[in-house]
């Protein structure tokens, strides 16, 4: 079976790419290894750079119905509860970037994208298609599946995540474990043992750990992410080793302030998320195959840009496919030339932010807190390079 444009992976990046390409006039076929198009996890943060693109795809009314827009971002010391800085996300922020900062449930965002894709007859969605091989044949690509079928494709986009099979065609690198692990979950806001500010996103930071909290689903749920560096992790252990366990979670957060300790008791303990990224690479493309999202540039979460950058990828890819029309090689070359510098910078900055948040020495935290104390409510201006619209 011949497929003009195949996207491997039906997550947020793959769905965004399918919708952007279809709206640019290209028929798209999306395959997903799962039995349904779903997202695991709870909250997701969308900065103005991503919301701007989703608006361009016509999704802002649906996003508005499900998103919460915090009016401030508050940093606190995880051990003392001292307020370090407050960033204004209200009217001045929206005026500067044209869009608000939004937080929502990952599944809700995927549902919006999925509904839009299903409503577009240029998009075919096919679950239960586990990829076993992607073969570059220069003038076309062949994708093979566990069910014994295969597709011949004019173009393939690997949006197959951190452990991408498609990436193996351009790099033999492996994901890098940071030794940090995350516990995630959302609880009904009326079940919280302590009052919370439902107009704020809260980030508690301290030595080798942090906790992020914000409301989602119109304020019905409170999303929490607790992250800590495992003392048991050793290089090469991988995600399935005996590290980052619930008892370590309790040990690390046991020295935190009372509000944090109370919050951590609410986590379900049956699943943890080891935190990985990869080093930036200088090529995502071979023949008629390219990468998108975490398959191309997995990043640590400290800038909250993983999904945002996948959405930017989708917009850029569609733009260059439209510009170069049937010349896939030119389109893919222009796409990665556009995206490589920006995503590589974000990968590196995200790592650095994590080191600053989690510093354990006596100097870096003191300097960090002094900078925070002297910052204004418009501290977000430091991220103009990330949030502002591209000047054409």
CA distance 307 to 312: 9
Torsion over CA: 149, 31, 134, 40 (sign): negative
Six token digits for residue 95: 């005026």
Question: Which is catalytic among the residues 151, 180, 214, 233?
Answer: 214
* 183 catalytic per annotation: no
- 128 in the Ramachandran plot: left (φ > 0), alpha (ψ -120 to 50) or beta? left
Contact 264, 226 (CB under 8 A): yes
Six token digits for residue 83: 């307020």
By DSSP bridging, strand 221-229 and strand 209-216 are antiparallel
**Coil vs helix vs strand at 114:** helix
Contact 18, 30 (CB under 8 A): yes
Contact 132, 146 (CB under 8 A): yes
Residue 30 β-bridge partners: 7, 125
CA distance 50 to 98: 12
Of 37, 48, 42, the residue nearest 12 (C-alpha)? 37
Q: Which residues are catalytic?
A: 214
């Amino acid at each position: 079976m011949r497929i003009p444009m195949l996207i491997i992976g039906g997550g947020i990046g793959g769905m965004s790419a399918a919708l952007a390409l279809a709206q640019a006039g290209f028929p798209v076929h999306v395959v997903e290894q799962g039995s349904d198009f779903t997202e695991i996890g709870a909250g997701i943060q969308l900065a103005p750079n991503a919301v701007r693109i989703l608006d361009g795809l016509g999704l802002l009314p649906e996003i508005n119905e499900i998103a919460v827009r915090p009016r401030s971002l508050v940093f606190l010391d995880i051990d003392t509860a001292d307020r370090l800085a407050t960033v204004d996300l209200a009217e001045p922020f929206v005026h500067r970037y044209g869009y608000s900062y939004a937080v929502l449930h990952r599944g809700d965002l995927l549902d919006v994208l999925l509904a839009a894709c299903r409503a577009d007859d240029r998009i075919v969605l096919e679950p239960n298609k586990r990829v076993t091989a992607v073969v570059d044949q220069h003038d076309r690509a062949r994708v093979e599946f566990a069910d014994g079928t295969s597709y011949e494709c004019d173009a393939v986009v690997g949006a197959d995540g951190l452990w991408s099979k498609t990436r193996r065609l351009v790099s033999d690198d492996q994901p890098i474990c940071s030794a940090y692990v995350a516990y995630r979950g959302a609880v009904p806001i009326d079940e919280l043992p302590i009052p919370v500010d439902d107009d704020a996103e809260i980030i508690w930071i301290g030595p080798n750990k942090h906790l992020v909290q914000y409301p989602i689903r119109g304020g019905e749920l409170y999303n929490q992410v607790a992250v800590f560096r495992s003392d048991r992790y050793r290089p090469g252990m991988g995600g399935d080793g005996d590290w980052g366990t619930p008892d370590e979670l309790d040990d690390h957060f046991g020295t935190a302030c009372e509000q944090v300790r109370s919050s951590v008791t609410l986590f379900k303990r049956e699943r943890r998320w080891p935190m990985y990224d990869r080093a930036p690479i200088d090529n995502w493309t071979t023949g008629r195959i390219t990468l998108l999202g975490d398959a191309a540039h997995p990043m640590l979460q400290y800038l909250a840009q993983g999904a945002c950058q996948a959405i930017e990828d989708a917009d850029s890819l569609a733009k260059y496919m439209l510009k170069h029309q049937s010349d896939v090689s030119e389109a893919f070359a222009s796409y990665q030339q556009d995206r490589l510098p920006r995503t590589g910078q974000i990968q590196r900055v995200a790592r650095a932010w994590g080191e600053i948040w989690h510093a354990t020495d006596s100097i870096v935290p003191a300097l960090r807190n002094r900078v925070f104390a002297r910052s204004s409510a418009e501290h977000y201006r430091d991220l103009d390079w990330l949030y502002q619209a591209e000047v054409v």
